Chain A
Amino acid sequence: MSLFKKKEKIIEEKINQFNESLNNYIISPSLDVNVMIIKQLFIDNDTIISRSVVNNFDKSLQFYIIYREGMVDPTIISETIIKQLVLSNADISKNNLLDSLVNQVLITNETRKISSMKEVIENVCYGDTVLFVNGCDKALVLDTKKFQTRAIEEPQNEKALNGPKEGFNEYLLTNLSLISRKLKTNDLKMKYLYLGQKTNTKCCICYLDSIVNKQVLEELYSRLDKIDIDGIIDANYINESIKDSPYSLFQTMGFTEKPDVVAANLLEGKIAIIIDGSPIVITIPYFFVENFQNSDDYYVNFYYACFTRIIRMFGFFLAITVPAFYISIVAYHHEMIPTSLFINVTLERQSVPMPAAAEAIIMLLLFDILKETGVRMPTNIGHALSIVGALVIGQSAVEAKLVAAPMIIVVALTGITSLLVPKMNAGIIYLRYVLLFLSIILGFYGFILGLACILIHILNLRSFGIPQLTLGGKTNYQAIKDTLFRGPWSKMKLRPKLVTDNQQRMKGGNN
């Protein structure tokens, strides 16, 4: 153990040394020194293209540009940078070389001054072109990004029948544009930050300044500060690094792929974290009811929305309880079944070899295996799988008297209802088995015990200090308008009390 630790320490020290030296590299006024450093930094990397440029009219104006091929637009580089630098005969003041270059020569749309080599690396790796000028201790970053991104498509995991259908893609700026197009106000703040020592992933924190809960924002920054990870590839890396109760089965941060959902959340005073390279946007704080909410709820008639939302909640309840409930009544509390149903179930269970408990566990596992196979397999084998799943396991198993027919119904019901609330996949799968085992051992007593424990756990959950679920308390209309039911928009006068202090959503809306 100690040996490994020692080795680790040595490696760590070396990395730190390297990083420190990188920070110490500053851009020197001498172009040759800069070129040498650059060549050393990007040694063994053939995708980095660098070349020197000299002005035609004034040979003392020497430049050096560096970019990464495949991530830049070559025509922009040649037309707006190289051509301009070479052919410009503008009167350039030597005292203020960089500024006058930007003002008079370069015609790229975005330019920035940087002074450290670390920034050079970051920008070159992200598709920008860095321009070194002889005699300046600063370099210019020129926006020349161009790379392939996925088109804006409807997200597969969050299908909506009504309302906006566009979804995020993997490029941060596209995602930000999708959000800011919906919130055309200077109140919308977007702050960049970089996470991950190796990936240097660009993240953006969005919020509406006048509504956002400043405490939550502070808490978010302090938690993001503590992230110590080499790479952020997807939103979940951040989620698991900073979420409250990290071992809980339930989410305490929201995930969405839809800009309209993010915009609606921002309007409620929440904060969005957009991560470059991931189409998933995190929203915080997150409430338990949000698991059952869907963007569709807000775009259709509210009567219909109430109904579907209740269906979803009921579906979640069924998904975790049905197998446990069935085992409880079949193995312990026979008196709970109406007589005629009781006789039918008894007849079905005759000459089935396994006890109901074993049957339930095997069939549920089998369903989960089928489900996982269905997600991972190539689509053109899907038919074979559905035939095997439906015919062999369903029908034939019952006919061969390996499994009782009611068990198939129970498994089917569980399977279907668990797909109703995709945001709680992990919770549903585990809780189902936990409740099932409790029911096998203790019957309804264990079942209720398990449900009580789950409820207590959910009530204990917090999302950035804000309780996920509250029971009772002040239950006026404004408190429940968007929980179990979805009130009409004209009556949603206040923002959620728990999220923001600035509750007024409509003029003259007091309650």
Chain B
Amino acid sequence: MIKKIITIIYLLFFSLLLSGCWDYTSLDEITIVSGMAIDQSEDKKGYHVSLEIFDTTESNKEKIKTAIIESNGITLFDAIRNAKKKITNKLYFANIAVIIVSEQVAKEKNIGEIIDWYLRDAEHRETLSFVISKEKTAKDLLNTKSSTNNAIGLLIKEIVTEDQTVTISVIHNEAYKIYNILNQKKESLVLPAFRVTTNNNEKAVEADGLAIFKNGKLIDFIDDDKSKYILFANNKVKGGILTIKKDNNIDNISLEITNSKTKTSFTYKNNQLKFFINIKTNVIVGEYGINDEIPYKQITKLEKIAANKLNKEVTEIIKYVQEKYNSDIFGFSTIIYRKDPKLWKKLKKDWDKIFKNIEVEVKSEVKIINTSYIK
């Protein structure tokens, strides 16, 4: 027994000598990156990246400060390794939340090229968010001031992740989802767009609609008053506010969405594709203008008004996208592929032409489940 124990102890000592301390990195030897902005370099050949890092030397328990490190490189990885020339510690990417891509880069380069490095690198997470900057450079977004969060990167991440349940203006696509969409070939990508505004006399970031892609390249932006209905068409709505007008005035009633479901189906008859979009939404009356009981008749009327508005707006935006961008951001191609692969094989060749002429019928049903009136 004792011999056995001694042998085991000897072996353990040997294992210490053999392995060393595998992968041991102390926390004070790393620089945590929270956000990253990708611009085109001045010579137009490579990338100019700006990294938002947590400044551990300046920060204390009360206030955590961030700093920005810029560097140039021919490729993304090159640019990031070049950034190490300016700092002591190795950059650590596991906590990076957001990649901001400038309009210029997104228009000139395929987004697939950019995303490749993030998916290959071991440290990055697949839940990384990508957003498009509406400003001149993507770095401008990092240079703003956040009143609530420590880092702009984390702030943008939180804005886009919570958007679908609160404000419904952007579609949040993470790295792995982007990769999936790009691999569908015919489906098009949408990414959240951000701009810089002034808030309390300081620069601040704001979500501002969607960036529409086609074939992996940015083509245009859609404002956030229209982007809401793209979310309805894409079954991405989990909350948010729907405003309607009671009579022929301006919108003065707010309906809070509790849950919403969109079912998309299609028929193919006589070489003609027809899509049906069924939206079922439950709402609560959140703001009515007069604090009084709403009669039953009025409730059914409101439901009809809201349903009509949804019908109209969703139909309009689909038509608008079909005609102006001819970009399948609604994933119609994927739906056909999944339900009827044989049909998809037939349509695949001329999809661009077909998509433009698809007839879409929108049917929405809004149900007021609560008027939240308290006597």
- With both beta carbons as reference points, the residue of chain A lying nearest to B123 in the complex is identified as A335
Instruction: State the Cβ distance, B31 to closest chain A Cβ, in Å.
Output: 10
Which of A318-353 touch B at CB < 8 Å? 330-332, 334-335, 339-340, 342-347, 349-352
Our pick among A347, A356, A357, A442 for the contact of B22 (Cβ within 8 Å) is: A442
Our pick among A330, A347, A440, A443 for the contact of B60 (Cβ within 8 Å) is: A347
The reply to whether A339 and B154 contact each other, CB–CB distance below 8 Å, is: yes
How many residues from B make CB contacts under 8 Å with A? 30
Q: CA of A350 to CA of B95 in the docked complex: distance in angstroms?
A: 18
Q: CA of A351 to CA of B27 in the docked complex: distance in angstroms?
A: 11
Q: Which of A343, A351, A442 has the most CB of B within 10 A?
A: A343
Does A247 have its Cβ within 8 Å of any Cβ on chain B? yes
Does B249 have its Cβ within 8 Å of any Cβ on chain A? no
- With both beta carbons as reference points, the residue of chain B lying nearest to A443 in the complex is identified as B23
Which of B44-69 touch A at CB < 8 Å? 54, 56-57, 59-61, 64
Q: CA of A332 to CA of B16 in the docked complex: distance in angstroms?
A: 17
Q: CA of A440 to CA of B19 in the docked complex: distance in angstroms?
A: 12
The reply to whether B97 and A339 contact each other, CB–CB distance below 8 Å, is: yes
Does A451 have its Cβ within 8 Å of any Cβ on chain B? no
List the B side residues contacting A346 at CB < 8 Å: 27-28, 30, 32, 54, 56
Q: CA of A481 to CA of B94 in the docked complex: distance in angstroms?
A: 45
The reply to whether A349 and B154 contact each other, CB–CB distance below 8 Å, is: no
Does B25 have its Cβ within 8 Å of any Cβ on chain A? yes
The reply to whether A349 and B22 contact each other, CB–CB distance below 8 Å, is: no
Which of A291-341 touch B at CB < 8 Å? 330-332, 334-335, 339-340
The reply to whether A441 and B16 contact each other, CB–CB distance below 8 Å, is: yes
Does A355 have its Cβ within 8 Å of any Cβ on chain B? yes
Q: CA of A343 to CA of B64 in the docked complex: distance in angstroms?
A: 9
Q: CA of A332 to CA of B29 in the docked complex: distance in angstroms?
A: 12
Q: CA of A443 to CA of B21 in the docked complex: distance in angstroms?
A: 9
Does B6 have its Cβ within 8 Å of any Cβ on chain A? no
The reply to whether A339 and B26 contact each other, CB–CB distance below 8 Å, is: no
Does B1 have its Cβ within 8 Å of any Cβ on chain A? yes
Q: CA of A339 to CA of B92 in the docked complex: distance in angstroms?
A: 12
List the A side residues contacting B268 at CB < 8 Å: none
Main secondary structure of the interface of B (DSSP, over half): loop
* Interface 1/0 per residue, B85-96 and A, CB below 8 Å: 000000010110
Our pick among B26, B30, B59, B92 for the contact of A355 (Cβ within 8 Å) is: B26
**A339-B95, A346-B56, A350-B56 given as contacts; is B23 within 8 A of A356 (CB)?**
no
Does B262 have its Cβ within 8 Å of any Cβ on chain A? no
**A347-B56, A441-B21, A442-B22 given as contacts; is B27 within 8 A of A339 (CB)?**
no
Main secondary structure of the interface of A (DSSP, over half): helix
The reply to whether A356 and B21 contact each other, CB–CB distance below 8 Å, is: no
Does B10 have its Cβ within 8 Å of any Cβ on chain A? no
List the A side residues contacting B22 at CB < 8 Å: 441-443
List the B side residues contacting A441 at CB < 8 Å: 15-16, 19, 21-22
**A334-B27, A342-B32, A355-B26 given as contacts; is B61 within 8 A of A347 (CB)?**
yes
Our pick among A343, A356, A440 for the contact of B54 (Cβ within 8 Å) is: A343
List the A side residues contacting B19 at CB < 8 Å: 441-442
List the B side residues contacting A247 at CB < 8 Å: 1
The reply to whether B21 and A334 contact each other, CB–CB distance below 8 Å, is: no
The reply to whether A332 and B23 contact each other, CB–CB distance below 8 Å, is: yes
List the B side residues contacting A339 at CB < 8 Å: 32, 34, 95, 97, 154
The reply to whether B26 and A356 contact each other, CB–CB distance below 8 Å, is: yes
The reply to whether B21 and A440 contact each other, CB–CB distance below 8 Å, is: yes
List the A side residues contacting B28 at CB < 8 Å: 346, 349-352
Q: CA of A442 to CA of B16 in the docked complex: distance in angstroms?
A: 10
- With both beta carbons as reference points, the residue of chain B lying nearest to A405 in the complex is identified as B61
How many residues from A make CB contacts under 8 Å with B? 25
**A339-B95, A347-B59 given as contacts; is B27 within 8 A of A332 (CB)?**
no
Does B24 have its Cβ within 8 Å of any Cβ on chain A? yes
Instruction: State the Cβ distance, B229 to closest chain A Cβ, in Å.
Output: 33
- With both beta carbons as reference points, the residue of chain A lying nearest to B95 in the complex is identified as A339
List the A side residues contacting B94 at CB < 8 Å: 334-335
List the A side residues contacting B57 at CB < 8 Å: 350
List the A side residues contacting B245 at CB < 8 Å: none
The reply to whether A349 and B95 contact each other, CB–CB distance below 8 Å, is: no
List the B side residues contacting A345 at CB < 8 Å: 27
Instruction: State the Cβ distance, B91 to closest chain A Cβ, in Å.
Output: 12
List the A side residues contacting B30 at CB < 8 Å: 334, 346
Which of A437-455 touch B at CB < 8 Å? 440-443
**A339-B34, A347-B60, A441-B16 given as contacts; is B92 within 8 A of A334 (CB)?**
yes
Instruction: State the Cβ distance, B2 to closest chain A Cβ, in Å.
Output: 10
Instruction: State the Cβ distance, A74 to closest chain B Cβ, in Å.
Output: 53
Instruction: State the Cβ distance, A214 to closest chain B Cβ, in Å.
Output: 31
Instruction: State the Cβ distance, A444 to closest chain B Cβ, in Å.
Output: 11
List the B side residues contacting A344 at CB < 8 Å: 61
**A346-B54, A440-B21, A441-B21 given as contacts; is B1 within 8 A of A356 (CB)?**
no
The reply to whether A335 and B34 contact each other, CB–CB distance below 8 Å, is: no
Instruction: State the Cβ distance, A361 to closest chain B Cβ, in Å.
Output: 14
- With both beta carbons as reference points, the residue of chain B lying nearest to A346 in the complex is identified as B27
- With both beta carbons as reference points, the residue of chain B lying nearest to A334 in the complex is identified as B94
Instruction: State the Cβ distance, A253 to closest chain B Cβ, in Å.
Output: 20
List the B side residues contacting A331 at CB < 8 Å: 24-27
The reply to whether A356 and B16 contact each other, CB–CB distance below 8 Å, is: no
Our pick among B27, B32, B61 for the contact of A330 (Cβ within 8 Å) is: B27
List the B side residues contacting A334 at CB < 8 Å: 25, 27, 30, 92, 94-95
Instruction: State the Cβ distance, B190 to closest chain A Cβ, in Å.
Output: 26
List the B side residues contacting A343 at CB < 8 Å: 32, 54, 64, 150
- With both beta carbons as reference points, the residue of chain A lying nearest to B30 in the complex is identified as A334
List the A side residues contacting B217 at CB < 8 Å: none
* Interface 1/0 per residue, B148-179 and A, CB below 8 Å: 00100010000000000000000000000000
- What are the nearest 5 A-B pairs in CB distance? A335-B94, A349-B27, A339-B95, A346-B27, A331-B24
Residues of A within 8 A of B (CB): 247, 330-332, 334-335, 339-340, 342-347, 349-352, 355-357, 440-443
Query: Can you list 9 A-B pairs, Cβ within 8 angstroms, ordered by A?
Result: A334-B25, A335-B94, A340-B150, A346-B30, A347-B60, A347-B64, A350-B28, A351-B28, A441-B21
Residues of B within 8 A of A (CB): 1, 15-16, 19, 21-28, 30, 32, 34, 54, 56-57, 59-61, 64, 92, 94-95, 97, 123, 125, 150, 154
If A340-B154, A342-B32, A441-B21 are given as contacts, then 8 extra A-B residue pairs at C-beta distance below 8 Å, sorted by A number, are: A330-B27, A335-B125, A339-B32, A345-B27, A346-B28, A347-B64, A349-B26, A349-B28
